[in-house]
Amino acid sequence: MDDLDGLVDAARAGGDWAFARLWQELSPAVAGYLRARGVAEADDVTSEVFLAAFQGITTFDGNGARFRSWLFTIAHHRGVDSLRRQTRLVREVEYAEDDDQRTVSSAEDTAMINVRAAETRALLSRLTPEQREVVVLRFVADLSLEEVAEITGRRLGAVKQLQRRGIAGLRRHLDGLISPMPVPSGPVDSITESR
């Protein structure tokens, strides 16, 4: 965390290189948090979060841990705004093959990423929205219980309870998916080769 403290101090003093390092260190967790909340344009919203942080870094007062918490507070609010917009907008984009300059991963890589993401979303969808938010902030964003309480506006005890219930729910579901091998109750007959 000392490295994060130094980066925050350097970014606050105007070091663009330090803010770029903060982006490299923290943007994957912010994007993961937003995706887990169902934000369709998670990468765009992540950019908005860091732009807001960049614009406010000179007035920010705190260490690396506090910066991380502040960043996820911004992400939480931007995510809420994005989800509200998603429910109001139907997005249609006309495809023009001649204008498409994108490169893509192999079909296999894309399929595996989509399968893992879909499995994770399906697993998280079994939780209540409150449990999901706490679990994602704790384990994807790697925030403390206190930071999660501050970001979500809940009491620490409520966050602990939501985390405990969320993890228990995930465990029950996963235990149901992994059924143990049946153990024979009586003596096991030996199999002998007949000649």
Same domain as 71, residue 36 = yes
- What confidence category does residue 187 fall into, taking pLDDT thresholds of 50, 70 and 90? low
Cβ-contact 36, 121 below 8 angstroms: yes
For the question of whether the overall pTM of this predicted structure is more than 0.75, the answer is no
39 Cα distance to chain centroid:
10
113-131 confidence digits (pLDDT tens): 655 667 777 888 888 999 9
Distances (CA, A) of 31 to 26, 39, 43: 9, 9, 6
In this structure, is residue 151 part of a structural domain?
Answer: yes
* pLDDT score of 183: 56
For 46-94, the pLDDT digits (tens) are 999 999 999 999 999 999 999 999 999 999 999 988 888 877 765 566 6
Residue 195 lies in a domain: no
Q: Are 77 and 155 contained in the same domain? A: no
Instruction: For residue 140, report the phi and psi dihedrals to the nearest 5 degrees.
Output: -90, -50
The overall average pLDDT reported for the chain is 82
d(CA 59, CA 8): 12
Quote the domain boundaries for residue 144.
Answer: 111-179
Let me know whether 5 and 57 are in one domain: yes
Task: Read off the CATH number of the domain in which 175 is found.
Answer: 1.10.10.10
Please report whether residue 71 resides in a domain. yes
